[in-house]
Structure 1
């Protein structure tokens, strides 16, 4: 029975010159981090790590296990007894001051470089906070080059003028950003009202580089909304990354304007690389989903292109030869189809494609064409 590795959090103490104190952090690495020595990973920084780390890390592990998001490194920062000082801002200009200014620099100038130095990190990073720490992560949005690509605000307790500052930063951003905020119908009344007002302002956002998401969870209060918001935020931020679902497939088939199914698949993976700065092989299930669309719409030239892609991406699996065999069958070239199926027979199975199925395909050609 194969051994399944479950990642255990690492507990570390960081000696900070900026904070002039030690700060405890937790780190969860992806399950297969040690076995994938060349792979880099997005990083999710969790403020209030003393209580937010576990729900975030658990959701990241679950979503990445099912490939609904990339594997990621999760870093939690313990702020017990320090969060008020860590998030303090000036009462005249509402920017970080004193302990808040120190913590701002600690995260950006000490902790993030340390994580980048010690672990294999991709350039895609996300910050998560709750109420006053949610407000705080937005200060990184105002830098000329924002430190984070994604901002998950859980019932944020926004400082004065923060609405306009966030809106302007997002509206005039020249890079792709993801911004999520959540409240609940039973949230603290002042926060719920303020977040609702903020969301109404964000409806005017016109910058196509920015992906903005909002949830107002019915029946959820200031604390239990977190359990719903974290998976919702991750699902939304990594929507393009997930495998093609049955819903996606049906939308694709029903869309009369979409006829270039192979291009749809290529575009999806180009976006994954561009948005998340990750290079991944095209999933075999996605190839099969697109092949079903191509066959249903009888776009045989696209099937040939898809077969070549499958062979390039997965040369040891039978899917490339199988699809090329189907292509030659449809083109009325049984000898070439039979040759492809024979090549497929010697390779690794994929989903329903196995040796028995390939034998059936070869027997059918012999019966139909006398080959």
Structure 2
């Protein structure tokens, strides 16, 4: 565990975490109070590009970890850069007031509806109007703040496209309500449940939630469950974030050797169709076009020759002319 924390600390230092982080006090009409927020904007931010928005509760603890993961995966794994909002919930342990629930029915507690509107109607729109954000949004929460994220599933359309729920402290009935709600939603949702091995009533509720989510048979719902036996309630955060990030943005990666062998070479469809569908899905899911990777062009070209699919070379050549007009490929 010490080795993991040391490695993460070095990564944060190496990636220059504070280079584009802004901290400010946000005057909330909904909450009738001032709240601490911080947000990370990529160093090479371009208003002409679109950036997925990540909303992180428990900002004092989780924000730096999420930023470090985003920077690492965008720099070394070919995943998109993101804009990240961290919502402070200290001092005075505000998280329990913000995210409290009624013990009888599991609905948000006295302050919960106002905090819900603060996020959805004030601070998120503030970033959306200030910066070039993509439609794709991710929610990250831990313990009771992870439970709070589930309430955003119950709008007509979920505000978030991906949920990273770390060791959630579930409200009554939430273990059954989340699967029921996801079963009727039609939009693409990524739901990550990250837990340490545990016991007790909340562990039983977590396992009930896991069973309910695993029972769903819907192409638009991507559910991932990660249990870490060597983790405790806090160290599980460092174990699970990277894997959740990798899965959420996995389609963004350049074509890998394994992908080439197991999906492209084994497909009965024209080789070029694989590339077309990959980039169409990226645009549909994230709300912006991705520049075609040279790696992907070469992988498709190699597959065309390997499978004698010479018909796919024509659209591939046209794509090269558009994507790389100033190179030999164009």
CA contact (8 A) 1:184 1:192 kept: no
- Residues 121-150 of structure 1 show CA distances to partners (whole Å, capped at 9, x for unaligned) of 111111110010000000011111221111
Aligned 1:1-371 pairs, distance under 5 A: 7-33=19-45, 36-80=46-90, 81-185=93-197, 187=198, 189-255=200-266, 257-320=267-330
CA RMSD of aligned residues (A): 1.7
CA contact (8 A) 2:271 2:303 kept: yes
Gap runs ≥5 in structure 1: 321-371
Equivalences, count: 313
- Residues 248-282 of structure 1 show CA distances to partners (whole Å, capped at 9, x for unaligned) of 11213552x43411110000000000011121121
Counterparts of 1:169 and 1:289, CA distance in 2? 40
Who is 2:8 aligned against?
none
TM-score (norm 1): 0.81
Counterparts of 2:38 and 2:268, CA distance in 1? 46
Q: Cα distance, 1:84 vs. partner?
A: 0.6
CA contact (8 A) 1:47 1:79 kept: yes
Gap runs ≥5 in structure 2: 1-14
Secondary structure of the corresponding residue to residue 251 of structure 2: coil
- Residues 132-172 of structure 1 show CA distances to partners (whole Å, capped at 9, x for unaligned) of 00000000111112211111100111111001210111000
Q: Cα distance, 1:192 vs. partner?
A: 3.6
TM-score (norm 2): 0.90
Counterparts of 1:190 and 1:315, CA distance in 2? 61
Counterparts of 1:220 and 1:259, CA distance in 2? 44
- Residues 273-314 of structure 1 show CA distances to partners (whole Å, capped at 9, x for unaligned) of 001112112111111111111111222221232122111111
Higher Rg of the two aligned structures: 1
CA contact (8 A) 2:104 2:172 kept: no
Counterparts of 2:265 and 2:133, CA distance in 1? 39
Counterparts of 1:235 and 1:18, CA distance in 2? 35
- Residues 298-341 of structure 1 show CA distances to partners (whole Å, capped at 9, x for unaligned) of 22221232122111111112224xxxxxxxxxxxxxxxxxxxxx
Secondary structure of the corresponding residue to residue 290 of structure 1: helix
Counterparts of 2:23 and 2:139, CA distance in 1? 19
Identify which range, 198-207 or 151-160, moves more after superposition: 198-207
Counterparts of 2:285 and 2:138, CA distance in 1? 13
**Cα distance change, pair 25–227 in 1 and its aligned pair in 2 (3 A):** same
CA contact (8 A) 1:26 1:77 kept: yes
Secondary structure of the corresponding residue to residue 233 of structure 1: helix
Give 4+ residue runs of structure 1 displaced > 3 Å after superposition.
Answer: 4-7, 187-193
